[in-house]
Amino acid sequence: MEQGAFAGKYIVTINKDERIIGKNAQLFAKGEIDYSELLRRGGAERDIIKDLLPSKYKDAKKSGLEAEVKAQTDNVFDFELVD
């Protein structure tokens, strides 16, 4: 069974982000503090998600990126992301 998108034209979105783990969670993950100490410190802080690309690329109405998938061929798409 073949996998992938059906042939046709598509609007493309691209997202790349980095998860920044809070300090207490990092210490717990490394084994430098135990669970009770993690709780004593107020628990793990919320992770921060940092976008590594301009936000327009994850919005289908703003990305400006398109691709046409063709049947019976390898489809490789390279996008130049500028902002």
Region 56-72 average pLDDT? 96
Q: For residue 59, is it within any domain?
A: yes
Q: For residue 3, is it within any domain?
A: no
Q: For residue 52, is it within any domain?
A: yes
Q: What is the pLDDT at residue 83?
A: 75
Tokens at 6, concatenated: 């059906």
Q: For residue 80, is it within any domain?
A: no
Confidence of residue 1 (pLDDT cuts 50, 70, 90): low
Res. 22: pLDDT tops 70: yes
Q: Does residue 2 contact residue 21 with C-beta atoms inside 8 Å? A: no
Counting the structural domains of the chain, the total is 1
Q: For residue 83, is it within any domain?
A: no
CA distance 22 to 24: 6
CA 83 from chain centre, in angstroms, equals 18
Q: Which domain holds residue 41?
A: 8-69
- Say if pTM beats, i.e. exceeds, 0.75: no
Question: Measured between alpha carbons, how far apart are the two ends of the chain, in Å?
Answer: 39
Tokens at 64, concatenated: 């400006």
Q: For residue 77, is it within any domain?
A: no
